[in-house]
């Protein structure tokens, strides 16, 4: 029982990181119906920003987190402006191939600057408590609480502000939204900034939890977050959060009770099975094709 509780806590930690990254996939898909396959690599860049800021500027946790988020968000906006915007009316597959290219660029650019894995210094002096046999570290609590807070803020923005309403409207009919007086390009930039900023935050937290970082760390984590977004219903914000926690739980539980090499097999099998029975994901709705 204690073992299960311990694993549940681990699942919550991993799940919240997946959920944060999944939000970036789902927001961009919702607004542009494209999968930003560079998103996993932006997560990696977030971890590297964290490393650079912590080592060279020697800042503490909060400014490091904020600066890393700001850095990744700016990078996300620049990528959208120069790589994706010119393709907005091109076939979707062109945009997706470009996204894969941007991802490869980010990986190799980082590799060129930093060929060896790096070690993020300790930013949080983690203390571990023992609660009835379950060991809880302050780092775990910070990651979970911070992720939930960021998701809460995002949900508020999307559901309760004019910008969020504009985002939801764009996801249904992009062409007429400008005629409501909404600056669509600004909203798209903002969507990229928020989505990639959350990915950057996930990179920082992941880097604190697993401090050895390398340029390829975003690939697998990115795929898992993408699965989370699809499982929850791509384009659906709350779906991405739920999907992240489901995938985190599945992975941790598989690793806890089966040989840990089964972990990825089970995650991808989950995606395939879900796609057969609920192709639109848990909260997704079929998006009728306009004729």
Partner 1 sequence: MPLLEIKALSHNFEGLRAVSDFNLNLAEHELVGVIGPNGAGKTTVFNLITGVYRASEGNIRFAGQELVGQTPHRITKLGIARTFQNIRLFRELSVLDNVRIAHYAQAAYSPLEALLHLGRYRSEEKRITDHALELLSVFKIDAFAFEHSKNLPYGLQRKLEIARALATNPQLLLLDEPAAGMNPNEIMQLMEFIRWIRKTFHLTILLIEHQMRLVMGICERLVVLDFGATIAAGLPVEIQNNPKVLEAYLGGEIVK
Point out which residues bind partner 1 (CB under 8 A). Answer: 153, 156-157, 160-163, 165-166, 168-169, 172-173, 175-184, 285
Q: Which residues pair with 134 in a beta bridge?
A: 131
Output the smallest distance, CB 90 to partner 1, in A: 17
Under 8 Å between Cβ of 2 and 133: yes
Nearer to partner 1, 129 or 172 (CB): 172
| Distance between CA atoms of residues 220 and 124, nearest Å | 26
Nearer to partner 1, 148 or 163 (CB): 163
* Per-residue tokens: 129: 């408590």
Output the smallest distance, CB 290 to partner 1, in A: 10
Nearer to partner 1, 5 or 157 (CB): 157
Nearer to partner 1, 120 or 151 (CB): 151
Nearer to partner 1, 58 or 290 (CB): 290
Output the smallest distance, CB 200 to partner 1, in A: 18
Taking Cα atoms as reference points, which of 208, 232, 166, 217 lies closest to residue 22? 232
| Distance between CA atoms of residues 71 and 237, nearest Å | 23
Output the smallest distance, CB 81 to partner 1, in A: 16
Handedness of CA 284, 268, 249, 202 (dihedral sign): negative
* Per-residue tokens: 78: 């620049």
Output the smallest distance, CB 183 to partner 1, in A: 5
Residue 181 class from Cβ within 10 Å (0-12 exposed, 13-18 middle, 19+ buried)? exposed
- Give the distance between the most distant pair of CA atoms in the chain: 60
Nearer to partner 1, 90 or 176 (CB): 176
| Distance between CA atoms of residues 27 and 35, nearest Å | 10
Helix ranges (DSSP H) in 114-236: 138-160, 162-172, 184-209, 217-232
Q: Which residues pair with 137 in a beta bridge?
A: 128
3-state helix, strand, coil in the chain (%, to 5): 75, 5, 20
Nearer to partner 1, 115 or 286 (CB): 286
Output the smallest distance, CB 236 to partner 1, in A: 11
What residue has token string 């850095």?
A: 71
Output the smallest distance, CB 136 to partner 1, in A: 29
């Amino acid at each position: 029982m204690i073992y299960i509780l311990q694993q549940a806590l681990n699942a919550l930690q991993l799940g919240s990181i997946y959920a944060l990254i999944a939000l970036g996939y789902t927001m961009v898909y919702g607004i542009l119906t494209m999968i930003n396959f560079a998103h996993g690599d932006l997560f990696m860049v977030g971890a590297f920003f964290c490393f650079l800021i912590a080592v060279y500027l020697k800042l503490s946790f909060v400014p490091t987190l904020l600066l890393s988020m700001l850095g990744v968000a700016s990078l996300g906006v620049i990528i959208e402006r120069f790589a994706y915007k010119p393709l907005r009316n091109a076939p979707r597959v062109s945009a997706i191939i470009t996204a894969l290219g941007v991802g490869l660029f980010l990986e190799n650019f980082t590799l060129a600057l930093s060929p060896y894995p790096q070690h993020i210094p300790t930013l949080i002096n983690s203390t571990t408590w023992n609660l009835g046999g379950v060991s809880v570290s302050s780092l775990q609590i910070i990651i979970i609480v911070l992720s939930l807070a960021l998701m809460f803020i995002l949900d508020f923005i999307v559901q309760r502000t004019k910008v969020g309403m504009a985002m939801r409207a764009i996801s249904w009919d992009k062409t007429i939204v400008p005629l409501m007086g909404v600056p669509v390009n600004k909203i798209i930039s903002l969507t990229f900034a928020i989505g990639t900023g959350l990915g950057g935050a996930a990179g920082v937290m992941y880097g604190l939890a697993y401090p050895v970082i390398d340029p390829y760390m975003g690939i697998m984590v990115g795929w898992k977050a993408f699965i989370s977004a699809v499982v929850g219903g791509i384009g659906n914000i709350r779906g991405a959060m739920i999907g992240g926690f489901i995938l985190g739980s599945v992975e941790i539980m598989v690793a806890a009770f089966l040989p840990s090499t089964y972990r990825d097999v089970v995650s991808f099998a989950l995606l395939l099975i879900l796609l057969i029975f609920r192709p639109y994901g848990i909260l997704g709705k079929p998006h009728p094709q306009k004729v």
